[in-house]
Amino acid sequence: MSQSELYKQGMHTRKSVLGETHVANAEAAKTSFDEGFQQFITETAWGKVWSSEHLTKRERSMITIALLAGLGHEEELVLHFKATQQTGTSLEDIKEVLMHVAIYAGVPAANTAFRIAKKVFNL
């Protein structure tokens, strides 16, 4: 797959997971400073990894939430909690993932993620 094909596939997948509005806003905020980075993540994260057919979007969503929570990336965690509406990841899935985070990445990381989830989902 050529880079332009990867970019097109990445944009399609990115929009299907994060939503048209988020992607349009991200594209509008892009500058010459981060243009190369945006192309890189669109082609690699979205065009290759998220577009692979080996795992479902639901499975990828759960893995991503676990990693973001474990690493303390709160802003990205909010984004991916919101994306669960498009990936089919349920609140029960999220709760189980965050319990897993508590065991393998620590209670403080899971506690923060639960707090963020409650806010995002109005729980």
Assigned fold of 55-123: AhpD-like (1.20.1290)
Q: What are the tens digits of pLDDT across the range 26-83?
A: 999 999 999 999 999 999 999 999 999 999 999 999 999 999 999 999 999 999 999 9
Q: Would you kindly state where each structural domain of the chain is located, as residue ranges?
A: 1-54, 55-123
Nearest Cα neighbor of 14 from 29, 28, 4, 24 is: 24
Mean pLDDT of 2-24: 92
pTM value > 0.85? yes
**Tens digits of per-residue pLDDT, 67-100?**
999 999 999 999 999 999 999 999 999 999 999 9
Buried b (16+ CB within 10 A) or exposed e, 85-105: eebebeeebbeebbebbbeeb
Overall average pLDDT of the 11-24 stretch: 95
